[in-house]
């Protein structure tokens, strides 16, 4: 007799969704987390808690946010984010490479999964400020990303932990799962190390939710390519690809964009791994309102190509490809009030100046002459006739340049000037294992379900290629984690 029906490996958002779902269906559940309790929550704890889902109208938002006041509702345009829109975003940003069946499960399952999370006790609130600016007294949400968990990633993980504990789910920290117990037909448990001892625990089924391989320098360089050892890791140091490796070891099929990842502009002086005291504060996501220059003083990317939700996850790679892997983001007084709160943390690598000459001299590593020329050309190209509006793609461009700026172009001309030094921060990797989209069961490289083995979250491959729409990571973990937990609870290892 097994003491546990289901073992869940990892204790981030995907793992907890699996654990709740399995428990809800009567399973006894053990969660094994490699990190000590003080560093719990994986990457999920580092998030802002922003979560993407399809909704029809303000009624759907109100149902998920009972704390919203009538005054807030009166000054907010939540718009809608239909399933069609969600599909379009996924197909467009992944260049039509997303696995259609996985994508369908994600999109069509998103709204009901939000309701399920809400029913479990996870609370949500609108992302005022970051995802909606106040223009003429009203907030208008853009980019399909409207709600975040109360208290961000920390609040989300705390809520998950409380719900799990109250439901009788056992969580063991400092427990690193090393391999799957596999009898040649089915997974029968795990081998782990905890408190200096290595031993086996059996179960009817195992859910792997152990994250990607972003924190493994060697795998990063091997799979993402040369140069990726230079990236800083935005989140946990514990996602080193263990879950993926142990599944591949028993014949799981690899899937998805193994040379791809989510990576952003990240403070140049940030530590090697994420710092829980700073959370996601090292990110610098307001570049659509300014410009970015490299060591030659040159712009290298269209900062205003789209809302930041659709560009930020691919621009980290572009920054890594610049000479010496850095860039400076530059803003003038006209837009500094729009900068996200992460620009005001004391750890920001920031310089200010009252003249452009002074600014040029303060941008460490940048050719001041190249920068001065670039600014002159850029400022002259800005279309000052079109009205600037941060809530829409305003078409206010700077064109006729080597690198166009498509929206939100403003001259860099009014002091004080602010500049932020950034490099590439990797968030998570896109390659992973193949799962059945309906059951989250891991498939073998014969494309057959591996009895007793399920997976969810970052370590599933096939959903994201090249890029990613913001807020989809938590939703993916929730949809497939929930499904993995349900399937695991009913698994009898025969198929």
Ligand X SMILES: Cc1cc2nc3c(=O)[nH]c(=O)nc-3n(C[C@H](O)[C@H](O)[C@H](O)COP(=O)(O)OP(=O)(O)OC[C@H]3O[C@@H](n4cnc5c(N)ncnc54)[C@H](O)[C@@H]3O)c2cc1C
**What residues make contact with ligand X under the rule CB under 6 A?**
9-15, 32-35, 42-44, 46-51, 176-177, 209-211, 234-236, 238-239, 242-243, 274, 280, 427-428, 457-458, 471-474, 477
Task: Name the minimum Å distance from CB 146 to ligand X.
Answer: 12
Strand ranges across the sheet with 147-149: 50-51, 147-149, 124-126
Give me the helix-helix angle, 13-24 and 472-490, nearest 10°.
Answer: 30
Task: Name the minimum Å distance from CB 469 to ligand X.
Answer: 9
Q: Pick between residue 105 and residue 298 the one whose CB is nearest to ligand X.
A: 105
Q: Pick between residue 243 and residue 297 the one whose CB is nearest to ligand X.
A: 243
Helix (H) or strand (E) holding 78: none
Task: Name the minimum Å distance from CB 215 to ligand X.
Answer: 9
Q: Pick between residue 39 and residue 327 the one whose CB is nearest to ligand X.
A: 39
Which segments within 68-142 are labelled E, that is strand?
76-77, 124-126, 132-135, 138-141
Task: Name the minimum Å distance from CB 49 to ligand X.
Answer: 6
DSSP 268-316: TT--SS--TTTGGGGB---GGGSEEE-TTS-B-S-TTSS-GGGTHHHHH
Distance CA 409, CA 143 (A): 19
Q: Pick between residue 459 and residue 489 the one whose CB is nearest to ligand X.
A: 459
Task: Name the minimum Å distance from CB 488 to ligand X.
Answer: 15
- Do residues 35 and 238 touch, judged by C-beta distance below 8 A? yes
Task: Name the minimum Å distance from CB 384 to ligand X.
Answer: 35
- Do residues 92 and 464 touch, judged by C-beta distance below 8 A? no
Q: Pick between residue 43 and residue 311 the one whose CB is nearest to ligand X.
A: 43
Helix (H) or strand (E) holding 259: none
Q: Pick between residue 172 and residue 404 the one whose CB is nearest to ligand X.
A: 172
Task: Name the minimum Å distance from CB 318 to ligand X.
Answer: 19
Q: Pick between residue 397 and residue 472 the one whose CB is nearest to ligand X.
A: 472
Q: Pick between residue 11 and residue 382 the one whose CB is nearest to ligand X.
A: 11
Phi, psi torsion values for 380, nearest 5 degrees: -70, -20
What Cα–Cα distance (Å) separates residue 73 from each residue in 76, 83, 126, 392?
5, 23, 10, 20
Distance CA 317, CA 426 (A): 9
Task: Name the minimum Å distance from CB 371 to ligand X.
Answer: 30
Distance CA 49, CA 157 (A): 9
Task: Name the minimum Å distance from CB 32 to ligand X.
Answer: 5
Pairing of strands 327-331, 291-293: antiparallel
Task: Name the minimum Å distance from CB 103 to ligand X.
Answer: 16
Task: Name the minimum Å distance from CB 77 to ligand X.
Answer: 22
**Residues across the chain:** 495
SS3 label, residue 95? coil
Distance of CA 346 to the CA centre of its chain: 24
Pairing of strands 124-126, 147-149: antiparallel
Question: Pick from 154, 177, 60, 160: which is nearest to 114 by CA?
Answer: 60
Q: Pick between residue 208 and residue 450 the one whose CB is nearest to ligand X.
A: 208
Residue 141 burial (CB count, 10 A): 22
Radius of gyration of the chain (CA): 23
Q: Pick between residue 243 and residue 265 the one whose CB is nearest to ligand X.
A: 243
- Only one residue has tokens 């609130």, namely 125
Task: Name the minimum Å distance from CB 154 to ligand X.
Answer: 12
Q: Pick between residue 180 and residue 398 the one whose CB is nearest to ligand X.
A: 180
What Cα–Cα distance (Å) separates residue 127 from each residue in 80, 192, 194, 244, 345?
15, 40, 39, 33, 19
Q: Pick between residue 50 and residue 398 the one whose CB is nearest to ligand X.
A: 50
């Amino acid at each position: 007799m097994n003491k546990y029906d289901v073992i869940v490996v990892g204790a981030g958002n995907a793992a907890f969704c699996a654990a709740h779902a399995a428990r809800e269906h009567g399973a006894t559940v053990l969660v094994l987390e490699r990190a000590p309790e003080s560093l719990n929550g994986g990457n999920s704890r580092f998030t802002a808690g922003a979560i993407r889902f399809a909704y029809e109208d303000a009624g759907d938002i109100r149902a998920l946010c009972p704390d919203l006041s009538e005054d807030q509702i009166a000054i907010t345009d939540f718009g809608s984010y239909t399933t069609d829109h969600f599909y379009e975003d996924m197909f467009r940003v992944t260049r039509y490479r997303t696995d259609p069946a996985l994508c369908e499960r994600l999109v069509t399952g998103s709204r009901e999964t939000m309701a399920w999370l809400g029913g479990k006790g996870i609370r949500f609130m609108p992302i005022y400020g970051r995802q909606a600016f106040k223009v003429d007294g009203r907030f208008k949400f853009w980019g399909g990303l409207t709600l975040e968990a109360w208290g961000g990633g920390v609040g989300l993980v705390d809520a998950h932990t409380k719900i799990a504990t109250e439901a009788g789910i056992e969580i063991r920290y400092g427990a690193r799962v090393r391999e799957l117990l596999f009898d040649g037909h089915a997974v029968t448990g795990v081998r782990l190390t905890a408190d200096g001892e290595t031993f086996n625990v059996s179960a009817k089924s195992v859910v792997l939710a152990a994250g990607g391989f972003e924190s493994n320098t060697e795998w990063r360089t091997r799979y993402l390519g040369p140069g990726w050892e230079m990236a800083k890791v935005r989140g946990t140091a514990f996602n080193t690809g263990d879950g993926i490796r142990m599944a591949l070891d028993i014949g799981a099929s690899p899937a998805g964009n193994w040379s791809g990842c989510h990576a952003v502009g990240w403070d140049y002086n940030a530590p090697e791994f994420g710092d829980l005291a700073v959370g996601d504060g090292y990110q610098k996501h307001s570049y659509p309102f300014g410009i970015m220059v490299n060591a030659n003083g040159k712009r290298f990317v269209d900062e205003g190509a789209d809302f930041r939700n659709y560009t930020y996850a691919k621009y980290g790679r572009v920054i890594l490809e610049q000479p010496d892997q850095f860039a400076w983001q530059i803003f003038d007084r006209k837009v500094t009030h729009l900068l996200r709160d992460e620009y005001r943390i004391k750890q920001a690598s920031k310089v200010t100046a009252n003249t452009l000459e002074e600014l040029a001299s303060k941008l460490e590593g940048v050719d001041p002459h190249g920068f001065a020329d670039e600014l002159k050309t850029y400022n002259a190209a800005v279309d000052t006739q079109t009205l600037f509006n941060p809530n829409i793609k305003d078409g206010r461009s700077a064109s006729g340049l080597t690198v166009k700026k498509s929206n939100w172009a403003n001259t860099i001309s009014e002091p004080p000037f602010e500049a932020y030094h950034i490099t590439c921060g990797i968030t998570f990797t896109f390659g992973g294992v193949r799962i059945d989209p309906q059951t989250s069961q891991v498939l073998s490289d014969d494309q057959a379900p591996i009895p007793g083995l399920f997976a969810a979250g970052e370590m599933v491959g096939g959903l994201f290629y090249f890029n990613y729409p913001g807020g989809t990571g938590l939703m993916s973990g929730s949809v497939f984690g929930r499904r993995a937990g349900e399937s695991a609870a009913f698994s009898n290892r025969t198929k």
